[in-house]
Structure 1
Amino acid sequence: MMDEDDEGGQISRIEARIEQLAEVAERCRKIILASKIVISGGVALLLGAMLGLFGSTAVAFLGAMAAVLGGIVSLGSNVSTLRQTMAAMAAAEALRSDLIGRIDLRVVGEGTG
């Protein structure tokens, strides 16, 4: 019985870890979306500056380039983090399934009385 309690505690800790990883993954997805929006805005600003819509100031070009490059860096970093997080979640879920498979489960309600 002590083994089952220990395994139950391990399963609870693994489930808590899976929830934490899910939160990290969701945060990464939001940052990835924001990065794509920043890249798009930077490209639009760059095209507008090149066409002379905002005047051809160096500030507009630098701002547009900074937005595009910053968005690309943020996108790449968060895509990498998301992949690592998803791999860690898969490993934790496999471990949880293995631990659940080891438990000798009994059907409640069955009896002779």
Structure 2
Amino acid sequence: MTDLHQQIADLEADIDALSDVAERCRKSMIVAKVAIVGGFLVFGATLFGMIWSDPVALLVGIAATLVGIVFYGSSRSTREQIAGKIKLCEARRAEMIDGMSLRAMEPH
């Protein structure tokens, strides 16, 4: 019985660790969105002459937008994979708990 308890505890630790990674992915997605918007604004402002027209500023705007898009997609994909792993661990944990011979305690 102790082995089963340890397996459940290990699964819970795995779920917590995966949840932390998923949260970091979510934060990375926010940073990526900021990079996309910032890059697009720099690109647009340079293109329409709102800021000094410099090829470097134009390239920085384009690069920031593209890097943000790639980073967002990568973080989102990783987060979806982690969510799937979390669901599998939670299902395994539920099966283990259901398989235990637990008795209901009667109130005194």
Asked if Structure 1 and Structure 2 have the same fold, meaning a TM-score greater than 0.5 normalized by the shorter chain, the answer is yes
| Counterpart position of 1:107 | 104
> SS of the counterpart of 1:104?
coil
The counterpart of 2:37, out of the listed 37, 40, 43, is: 40
How far off is 1:43 after superposition?
A: 0.5
Q: For residues 104 and 45 of structure 2, what CA distance do their matches in structure 1 show? A: 69
TM-score, with structure 1 as normaliser: 0.91
Q: Name the CA distance, whole Å, in 2 between partners of 1:69 and 1:110.
A: 62
What is the CA RMSD across the aligned residues, in angstroms? 1.4
* Structure 2 residue identity aligned to 1:48: A
TM-score calculated relative to the size of structure 2: 0.95
Q: Which residue of 2 aligns with 1:19?
A: 16
Q: Amino acid of the residue matched to residue 33 of structure 1?
A: I
Aligned to 1:64: 61
Cα distance, 1:54 vs structure 2: 1.4
Tell me the amino acid that sits aligned with residue 85 of structure 2: A
Q: Distance in 1 between matches of 2:35 and 2:66?
A: 9
Give every structure 1 segment of 4 or more consecutive aligned residues whose post-TM-superposition deviation is greater than 4 Å.
none
* CA–CA separation in structure 2 for the residues paired with 1:110 and 1:55: 77
SS at match of 1:46: helix
**Identical residues among aligned pairs (%):** 37
8 Å CA contact 1:29–1:82 kept in 2: the answer is: yes
Instruction: Give the Å deviation of 1:53.
Output: 1.4
- Structure 1 position 110, deviation (Å): 7.2
Q: Distance in 2 between matches of 1:109 and 1:6?
A: 27
1:73 shift after superposition? 1.0
CA distance in 1, matches of 2:107, 2:96: 24
Deviations, residues 4-23 of structure 1 (Å, cap 9, x unaligned)? 21111000000000000000
Deviations 1:71-109 (A, max 9, x none): 011101101100000000000000000000000012345
